[in-house]
Amino acid sequence: VRPQQATAQQAAIAQQKQSAEENARIEAAKQAANKAGSSILAKRKIADLVSQVSPGDTVAPEVEEVLLEIAEDFVENVTNFACLLAKHRNSNVLEVQDLRLHLEKNWGIKVPGYMSDDRGGAASKAQ
């Protein structure tokens, strides 16, 4: 084995190990959140939203559960994809630009307060 090949192999092994460690940390955080019973939204927030949109109306408990599940799945999906974008930038830090890019390109959602850079670069904070 040539020295260049050995170095490339060692680098690949180190990167795989780092990715496995990051995945393990993410999974541990998810499990801890699930054990704590944490939820992104509370049922009360859904009831507040409904009362703002349509005063006097209520939402069945089963519908609240489904809406909570949909919201949590959405946030998890967006976060996971944005993390992939951050990794693609060779960064270990999730930034607004990662979330913004995914939300705008895949969901058609504009992030208030941040403008797209027409050159394909990072998001810039609106003044």
Let me know: does 98 contact 83? Beta carbons within 8 Å. Answer: yes
What tens digit of pLDDT does each residue of 35-45 get? 545 566 677 78
Entry pTM: 0.57
Distance of CA 41 to the CA centre of its chain: 15
* Cβ neighbour number for residue 71 with a 10 Å cutoff: 15
Whether 33 shows a pLDDT value over 60: the answer reads no
The pLDDT, as a whole number, for residue 74 is 92
Exposure of 125 in the CB half-sphere (CA atoms within 13 A) = 3
Rounded CA-CA distance 33/49 in Å is 24
Q: Which residues, other chains included, contact 99 with Cβ-Cβ below 8 Å and sequence gap of 6+?
A: 78, 79, 82, 111
